Structure 1
Amino acid sequence: MEIQIQTFTVHKRFALTISRGTTAQTTNVWIRIEQDGVEGWGEASPFSMGEKPQTTAAIARSLQAIAPLLKSLHPLERQRIEHLLGQAKLPSAARAALDVALHDWLGKYAGLPLWQLWGLERDRIVSTSVTIGISTPEAAKQRVLDWLGKGTAESPRRDIQALKVKLGSPEGIAADQAMFTAVQETAPNIAQISVDANGGWTVESTLKMAHWLAERGVTYIEQPLPKGRETELTKLFYLSPLPIFVDESCFTSRDIPMLSDRVHGINIKLMKSGGLSEALRMIHVAKAYDLKIMFGCYSDSTLLNTALAHLSSLADHLDLDSHLNLLNDPFIGASFENGRVVPNDQSGLGVRLR
């Protein structure tokens, strides 16, 4: 199979601030594989969790290095391809780009959308949350209004059903509480609100915030403690009035068994897992442990969020909003309908250039 690799830069309509920093733009990697007149598309977006960052340059280099080794293989030789990728120790984001492209190729080759190839039902897809980054109460209020189509920003009106509020402010939980209050007061009709601290809290501050947030109807708390402090999650599991989900603490299906007795759910992202194949494994393992499942994203374009949308009927919560905040997304794919990201009927991913 022939492989083409190129980069593209996307700019956020609103910069996103979390406990670890602020992102206004990213340069992602677009990969295309071609075989038998069929072309499959994949994407990788850079990310960092405090360890060795998966940068755009590192992702692109790894894909360029593996491309000649894949040339003699057919996209249907998935076992051989997976073995080769394992030996090469590609970054998870690079593996994800290839895996998504192979799935897109397969769907197009079969003439079926992925959700149908997997036997899934689109009407089971739940609403996706849209994200409010860490900011002042006044800025958070304006961001909510912009999402709801009532602000001054040039963005289309959207039927938002759920919000995710980023907390874990360096200024402490008083700042978190003030910002959350502003968000909730601005969107009183949105009942589904979750909170993501991105590892910005301690056990003590998490328990204090969990009780405070529970009184305000929050659905769950995501990644309250920093990655590496998973043993402390046990106390939260038993004492928190709200369910605890993990993101940075869970990359692949191998991480799930050790977390199963101390969390209520996991956040699956394509860049962490290494693609749709591993995401599906994670879903099955998580369900075997009776854990809830959510899907998330980084600075992913429509291509990647459409890819996960094909599996979304298997998730309990969704946070696939990154493409909705892009000014120059090069792709068109899943539609946004009544707060839901819904894949179309076209074969493969159903993604095309804008």
Structure 2
Amino acid sequence: MQLQIQTFTVHKRFALKISRGTTAQTTNIWIRIEQDGIEGWGEASPFSIGENPQTTEAIARSLQAISPLLKALHPLERQRIDQLLSQARIPSAARAAIDIALHDWLGKSAWLPLWKLWGLDRDRIVPTSVTIGINTPEGAKQRVKDWLGKGTIESPRQDIRALKVKLGSPEGIAADQAMFEAVLEVAPDIEQISVDANGGWTVESALKMAHWLSDRKVTYIEQPLAKGQEAELTKLFYLSPLPIFVDESCFTSQSIPALSDRVHGINIKLMKSGGLSEALRMIHTAKAHGLKIMFGCYSDSSLMNTALAHLSPFADYLDLDSHLNLVDDPFVGAMFESGRVIPNQDPGLGVSLRARSC
């Protein structure tokens, strides 16, 4: 099989600020795997957790290095491909791009969308949240209004039913509380609100915020403590009135057993897991441990979020909104209907290039 690698840059409509920094644009990687006249597409996006960031350059280098070794293999030889990728120790984002492309190729070969190939029910897909980054109270109000189509610019989508609010402000929990109150003021009818601190709290501030947020219609708290502080999650698990989910603390299915006695759920992202194959293993492992499941994203285009949308019938919560916040998404894929990201009926991922006006 032949592997083609191409970079592309996407820009956010609203820059996203979290406890670790702000992102306005990213350069992602589009790969295409061709075999027997069929082309499978995949995507990798850079992300940073801890001391080993996966940069666009590092991901691209690893894909270029593995490309000659894939030529002798067929997309259906998944065990051999997986063994090759494991031996090469390529970054999880690069592995994800290949895995997504192989799934796309398989679905196109079978002339079936992935959700149908897996026998899943699209009616079970829950609404996706849209994200409100760390901001001033007035800035947060404006961002909510923009998402809901009530601001000074045209809303990127209508019928938003869930919000994820980023907290963990460097200015402390007083700033978090002021911002959250501002969000509630302009979104009184939102069905679901979750909070993501991205590891920006201490145990003490997390407990204080958990009790404060429990009175304000919050569904769950995501990653209250920084990666590396998993031992401290036990105290939160027993004392928090709200469920605790982890993101940065959980990469693959191997992470789950050690977390199962101190969290209520996990956030699965394709860049962390290494693709749809491992995401599916994470789903079954989490369910076997009685944990809830959510799906999340980085600065991913419609290609990546459509890929994960095919597994969305398994998820309890969804945060697949990054493509909704792009002004120059090069792809078209999953539909946005009644607040939900729904994969279409086309074979494979069901993703195509967006038509560009001259």
Question: Which interval holds the TM-score relative to the shorter structure?
Answer: over 0.9
Q: CA offsets per residue over residues 1-22 of structure 1, 9 Å max, x none?
A: 0110010000000000000000
Match of 2:219, SS state, is coil
- Structure 1 residue 271 corresponds to structure 2 residue 271: yes
In the alignment, the residues of structure 2 paired with residue 150 and residue 114 of structure 1 have an alpha-carbon distance, to the nearest angstrom, of 36
What displacement does 1:157 show? 4.2
- Report the TM-score when normalising by structure 2: 0.98
Give 2:11's aligned residue.
11
What displacement does 1:52 show? 1.0
Q: CA offsets per residue over residues 92-136 of structure 1, 9 Å max, x none?
A: 000000000000000000000000000000000000000000000
In the alignment, the residues of structure 2 paired with residue 284 and residue 156 of structure 1 have an alpha-carbon distance, to the nearest angstrom, of 34
Give 1:142's aligned residue.
142
The alpha-carbon distance between structure 1 residues 8 and 38, as it changes in their structure 2 partners (threshold 3 A), is same
- The residue identity in structure 1 corresponding to 2:131 is T
In the alignment, the residues of structure 2 paired with residue 156 and residue 75 of structure 1 have an alpha-carbon distance, to the nearest angstrom, of 37
- The residue identity in structure 2 corresponding to 1:96 is A
What displacement does 1:50 show? 2.6
Q: Is the 8 A contact 2:297 2:321 kept in 1?
A: yes
Match of 2:175, SS state, is helix
Q: CA offsets per residue over residues 45-69 of structure 1, 9 Å max, x none?
A: 0000132110000000000000000
In the alignment, structure 2 segments of 5+ residues that lack a partner are none
In the alignment, the residues of structure 2 paired with residue 62 and residue 220 of structure 1 have an alpha-carbon distance, to the nearest angstrom, of 37
Give 1:248's aligned residue.
248
Give 1:83's aligned residue.
83
The number of aligned residues is 354
In the alignment, the residues of structure 1 paired with residue 153 and residue 263 of structure 2 have an alpha-carbon distance, to the nearest angstrom, of 38
- Structure 1 residue 352 corresponds to structure 2 residue 352: yes
In the alignment, the residues of structure 1 paired with residue 58 and residue 155 of structure 2 have an alpha-carbon distance, to the nearest angstrom, of 33
Give 1:108's aligned residue.
108
In the alignment, structure 1 segments of 5+ residues that lack a partner are none
Q: CA offsets per residue over residues 243-275 of structure 1, 9 Å max, x none?
A: 000000000000000000000000000000000
In the alignment, the residues of structure 2 paired with residue 50 and residue 80 of structure 1 have an alpha-carbon distance, to the nearest angstrom, of 31
Mapping of residues 152-301 of structure 1, within 5 Å: 152-301=152-301
In the alignment, the residues of structure 1 paired with residue 127 and residue 184 of structure 2 have an alpha-carbon distance, to the nearest angstrom, of 18
What displacement does 1:152 show? 1.2
In the alignment, the residues of structure 1 paired with residue 116 and residue 90 of structure 2 have an alpha-carbon distance, to the nearest angstrom, of 30
Q: Is the 8 A contact 2:331 2:351 kept in 1?
A: yes
Moved over 3 A (4+): 154-157
Q: CA offsets per residue over residues 283-310 of structure 1, 9 Å max, x none?
A: 0000000000000000000000000000
What displacement does 1:154 show? 3.4
In the alignment, the residues of structure 1 paired with residue 202 and residue 81 of structure 2 have an alpha-carbon distance, to the nearest angstrom, of 42
- Between the two proteins, what is the percent identity of the paired residues? 83
Q: Is the 8 A contact 2:244 2:264 kept in 1?
A: yes
In the alignment, the residues of structure 1 paired with residue 20 and residue 107 of structure 2 have an alpha-carbon distance, to the nearest angstrom, of 38
